[in-house]
Copies of this chain bind each other. A is one copy, B any other.
């Protein structure tokens, strides 16, 4: 792909990782625009770009405006942009593409399906990008931009992006909460999560090339009522956890494998 001129809106984790990845791929970051000028200045320094807090200050030669702000801010940012013919795309899993329809001719979604942490290096080349565009040319252009930084590109429309987000809440947000619950259960007895960490890792890694439905283990799938009752007795003083234990066990038992 040719060198493109990119404006980044936002200065959080996603904005930071994308700006650096674009620079590494040979693109030019024209400007980083954020309400938080300090953060914007930090990314600007790393990517040899300008920074600003004026959302309307889009240079005329801009090819892409990547809106990497919090979900609740996308719509307001969209209304302030003045991007001419640049392609505008947000990076959210939950916001409709049409948030841009009254403010731009060419727009879409550039959604990296990964957890980003500012401090942590990430192999962005493995990150799945979900792309959507309001017309074929825009979709192609956003796909090409994504391909310049990752080898894992998917065309996903807004309806399916919502489905993906629901699935991600189960597979990632809820699983992290169960890690948290496990850590708490152990801490009460002065046991460290360290003792469980290898199993947590293996449980995730084994679904990388297999279907999780074929890998279910534990008392619920074997129908081991005695153990489940022991566990519920242990959780009797924690009614919320006991209820989660029951609901999940029922769900595992009812699942048609």
Footprint of B on A, CB under 8 Å? 71-72, 94, 113-115, 117, 120, 122, 126-128, 130, 152, 154, 156, 160, 162-186, 188-189, 191, 193-208, 211-213, 215-221, 224, 227, 230-231, 234-235, 240-241, 243-245, 247-248, 251-252, 254-255
Q: How far is the CA of A80 from the CA of B207 in the complex (A)?
A: 39
| A27 to B: closest C-beta gap in Å | 23
**Nearest Cβ on chain B to A163's Cβ, whole angstroms:** 5
Is there contact, CB below 8 Å, between B204 and A114?
Answer: no
Rounded to whole Å, the gap between the CB of A240 and the closest CB of chain B is 6
Assembled-state Cα–Cα distance A115/B203 (Å)? 7
| 10 A-B residue pairings within 8 Å (CB atoms) | A94-B230, A156-B191, A163-B186, A167-B181, A171-B181, A173-B216, A173-B221, A175-B175, A175-B200, A179-B212
Question: In the complex, what distance in Å separates the CA atom of A113 from the CA atom of B178?
Answer: 17
The CA-CA distance from A208 to B183 in the complex, in Å, is 12
A166-B203 contact, Cβ under 8 Å, with A173-B218, A177-B252 = no
Q: In the assembly, what is the distance between CA of A63 and CA of B191, in Å?
A: 31
The contact of A169 among B120, B189, B231, by CB within 8 Å, is: B231
Instruction: Find out whether the CB atom of A182 lies under 8 angstroms from the CB atom of B170.
Output: yes
A185, A198, A247, A252 pick with most chain B CB within 10 angstroms:
A198
Contacts A177-B252, A227-B71, A234-B162 given; indicate if A186 touches B167 (C-beta within 8 A): yes
Q: Are B171 and A182 in contact (CB under 8 A)?
A: yes
